[in-house]
């Protein structure tokens, strides 16, 4: 979904690529947060339909779900702001 919604903003950020900490932190943070959120969802999705005593059922399933939702939501909000900024000011 992020690639579909913000492909233009990602393209603008990638076009100005450079190895500087400020660039990496400000330009790609939103997409890193989205990716981390999705990674936290993996144990939750794997454990769907499993019994709590199963070895594939994470003991801290609620924490994984909470972190996944939080990071994904923060990433979506930040990516939306980056996309608006990348569009530039409205034409007069």
Q: Three-state DSSP class for 19? A: coil
The model's pTM: 0.74
Does 73 have pLDDT greater than 70? Answer: yes
Domain ranges of the chain: 2-87
DSSP one-letter code for 49: T
Torsion of CA 24, 28, 33, 34, to 10 degrees: -160
47 against 16, higher pLDDT: 47
The pLDDT, as a whole number, for residue 1 is 64
Q: Where residue 4 falls among pLDDT bands split at 50, 70, 90?
A: low
The pLDDT, as a whole number, for residue 28 is 77
The pLDDT, as a whole number, for residue 23 is 65
Q: How far is CA 53 from CA 37, 40, 45, 58, in A?
A: 25, 20, 16, 9
Mean pLDDT of all residues in 64-72: 94
53: which 2 tokens? Answer: 């005593």
Does 17 have pLDDT greater than 70? Answer: no
38: which 2 tokens? Answer: 């999705």
CB 90 within 8 A of CB 73: no
Short-list 26, 32, 42, CA closest to 72 = 32
């Amino acid at each position: 979904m992020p690639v579909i919604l913000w492909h233009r903003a990602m393209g603008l950020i990638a076009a100005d690529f450079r190895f500087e900490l400020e660039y990496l932190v400000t330009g790609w943070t939103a997409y890193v947060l989205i990716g981390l959120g999705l990674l936290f969802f993996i144990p939750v999705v794997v454990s769907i339909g499993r019994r709590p005593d199963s070895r594939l059922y994470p003991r801290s399933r609620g924490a994984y779900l909470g972190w996944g939702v939080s990071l994904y939501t923060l990433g979506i909000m930040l990516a939306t702001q980056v996309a608006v900024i990348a569009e530039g000011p409205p034409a007069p």
